[in-house]
A and B are shown apart, each in its own frame.
Chain A
Amino acid sequence: MRGDGWGEGSPNRAFIMFRLLQGKVLFFTSLSLDYFHLKHSACAKQSLLLEYTVKILKLCGLTQVRWSRYGPEYQDPQIDKEYYRKPLAQLTEEETYERELRKTQVIKAAPATKTSSVFEDPVISKFTNMMMKGGNKILARSLMTQTLEAVKRKQFEKYHAASAEEQATVERNPYTIFHQALKNCEPVIGLVPILKGGHFYQVPVPLAERRRRFLAMKWMITECREKKPRRMLMPEKLSQELLEAFCNRGPVIKRKHDMHKMAEANRALAHYRWW
């Protein structure tokens, strides 16, 4: 699957998120649904499986938060154009076997937002989705493209104003700037509230890759929404913030450093973590 930097992958198990009713700690558990071999049709089987899992979870005091209508047997769609363009004669034995296997498997429907375009970028798509309000993807996408254009134009101005030696250091590709800026904003360590002895303590915890990416994007968007002057438009503010984060300065980087400092300060509570 293209753009698989997110770690969502294609496991053959259904990941179901639970919430403890007493506390607010999130557990990740995987239930293997291979145990249910019932003599029913596929969709009835799925719905029955889900019913059983819901009942079992409610017994343990856990409720489902995010789930998928697809069962474990559904494979992710192959969107890459190069995969299909390979002539059949050039395939190795494993690849031919894999293709034959896929003909027998059920495949999920590809989401509308995933294209086989060469210009597609999963980071940009995720950021656009996070900027979207009320399902207005058209507006979010246009804001994103205007931001990239604004970043490019600013960098071109800087390039033309710089001397010959400095011109080599000026980065004009808006995509590299975007990726680097978000990477610079990612925190390394985070804080999680843990309940112990009737009090909530902020415990420093290593963050998963996707949580870090999420936090970087969330901080960037919140910063641009709340701290901008009234008449300034989002693309202008976002381009400003991205360029500052690219140079490792600016309010979002400051927030990341604040998070690190708090984690460093609460270093003694690290023992409260049990995972």
Chain B
Amino acid sequence: MLKGMTRLVSRVHKLDPGRFSHLGTQAPQCPVAHLDNQVPTERTRAISRTLENDPAKHGEQHVGQHYNISIQELKTVFPHGLPPRFVMQVKTFNEACLMVRKPALELLHYLKNTNFAHPAVRYVLYGEKGTGKTLSLCHIIHFCAKQDWLILHIPDAHLWVKNCRDLLQSTYNKQRFDQPLEASIWLKNFKTANERFLSQIKVQDKYVWNKRESTEKGSPLAEVVEQGIMRVRNATDAVGIVLKELKRQSSLGVFRLLVAVDGVNALWGRTTLKREDKSPITPEELALIYNLRKMVKNDWQGGAIVLTVSQTGSLFKPRKAYLPQELLGKEGFDTLDPFIPILVSNYNPKEFEGCIQYYLENNWLQHEKAHTEEGKKELLFLSNRNPGLLERLCAYL
């Protein structure tokens, strides 16, 4: 009988860790003594927040929970690149909380175990509309920024292939076109994100801008960026120089480079831009796209390339297309091959509960019926657990 009792006791002890792990990271902080009173009530409510704000320490137990990014960090790490609706949400709630999800965790695991002596590995985040590709990319960027990598973030490559008012013939190469406005905006944001690196990295060539201005060999990269921001005509060439230098010098091991491009399928699609004689321009004739393509090739070491393919904002692609093969086309797929595809799908039930709980905690769901089980079931049905749709639904409820 005593043996049976001891077996029972050991089984009960084995059960306890299971009960604790549901509480997430908050469990270790609760003393064991008054566990029995608290666990039954907290088990019924989903946990939506975690106190672990360092992406490097996120793990499986944090899936479905939101972690906080401080507003100062947001301004330095993400001067551009956050989806507009997320920016509105940050402004309304006065806090920036990102959900930890499986695709991002997978990517973080790969990035933590990268071998910087090998050529840069390409990771492609793909998924249907509204599943969270851009925010997963932002999670990765936040991790790399915390780990002191140099972030080369192109927020939306589609913006570079459409709606460009001023196209200039490139000064460097007569066949290509310059986009001064887009290039200067990107340079400004790049400078905000990577201030501390710009003074350390030295340029390895002499660049002559015009008869009066030139950048000597050995001067810091910040000068090139300044030149691009001041003289908007040379902005595209400045971007090209920055990309070339970074690619060359990351292999030396001085810094680690993360190339993050959102909507990389724009680089190999079609553009809506036309020359004066109304003939269409192909992407490789745009200097920005031409230089970016060189960046996305895996012939350099010392970093990683994380890409997203998206149909929203893409040109001449059907609405339902979301697979990399469909969006990149033959040319793009062949250039990017081999890459690691990572599917970003809709929320699983735990993540959905976490999201609803987060909205309830911030009092975002004001409708009386939204708090009830009926309301939650209806939201689940209407949104099909799609994060983007759920956000839009909860916005007016």
Seen from chain A, the residues whose Cβ lies within 8 Å of a Cβ on chain B are 117-119, 145-146, 148-149, 152-153, 156-157, 160, 172-175
Contacts and interface: CB of A to CB of B under 8 A. Distances in A.
Given A148-B396, A149-B395, A173 B378 contact: no
B94 interface: yes
A146 B88 CA distance: 13
Nearest to B363: A172
Interface in B350-397: 363, 366-367, 369-370, 372, 374-375, 378, 395-397
A153 B394 CA distance: 12
B369 A172 contact: no
A210 to B, nearest CB: 25
Given A118-B369, A118-B374, 9 more contacts: A119-B367, A119-B375, A119-B397, A145-B396, A148-B396, A156-B93, A172-B366, A174-B366, A175-B366
B175 interface: no
A174 B378 contact: no
A153 B396 contact: no
B367 A175 contact: yes
Contacts of A160: 94
B53 interface: no
Contact of B366 (A117, A118, A173): A173
B92 interface: yes
Given A118-B374, A119-B375, A174-B396, A157 B367 contact: no
Contact of A117 (B88, B372, B378, B395): B378
18 contacts: A117-B378, A118-B369, A118-B375, A119-B370, A119-B375, A119-B378, A119-B397, A146-B396, A152-B366, A153-B92, A156-B93, A160-B94, A172-B363, A173-B366, A173-B367, A174-B396, A175-B366, A175-B367
Contact of B372 (A118, A145, A146): A118
Contacts of B374: 118
Interface of B: 88, 92-94, 363, 366-367, 369-370, 372, 374-375, 378, 395-397
Chain B interface helix/strand/loop/mixed = helix
Q: Which of A119, A152, A153, A173 has the most CB of B within 10 A?
A: A119
Chain A interface helix/strand/loop/mixed = helix
A181 to B, nearest CB: 15
A148 B392 CA distance: 12
B89 to A, nearest CB: 9
Contacts of B375: 118-119
A131 to B, nearest CB: 15
Contacts of B396: 145-146, 148-149, 152, 174
Contacts of B369: 118-119
A125 B370 CA distance: 18
Nearest to A121: B367
B336 to A, nearest CB: 37
A157 B366 CA distance: 15
Nearest to B382: A117
Nearest to B374: A118
Nearest to B88: A153
Nearest to A147: B396
Contacts of B93: 156
A145 B397 CA distance: 9
Contacts of B372: 118
Nearest to B370: A119
A157 B378 contact: no
A157 B92 contact: yes
Contacts of A153: 88, 92
A156 B359 CA distance: 13
A239 B366 CA distance: 16
Contacts of B367: 119, 173, 175
Contacts of B378: 117-119
A145 B391 CA distance: 13
Contacts of A146: 396
Q: Which 3 A-B pairs have the closest CB atoms?
A: A173-B366, A145-B396, A148-B396
A157 B88 CA distance: 11
Nearest to B93: A156
Contact of A152 (B94, B370, B395): B395
Contacts of A173: 366-367
A186 B92 CA distance: 32
A117 B369 CA distance: 10
Q: Which of A148, A156, A157 has the most CB of B within 10 A?
A: A156
Contacts of B363: 172
B383 to A, nearest CB: 13
A26 to B, nearest CB: 36
Nearest to A159: B363
A117 B378 CA distance: 7
Contacts of B88: 153
Contacts of A152: 366, 395-396
A142 to B, nearest CB: 10
A89 B369 CA distance: 27
A119 B397 CA distance: 8
B117 to A, nearest CB: 50
Contacts of A156: 92-93
A167 to B, nearest CB: 11
Contacts of B94: 160
Contacts of B92: 153, 156-157
A145 B378 CA distance: 17
B348 to A, nearest CB: 24
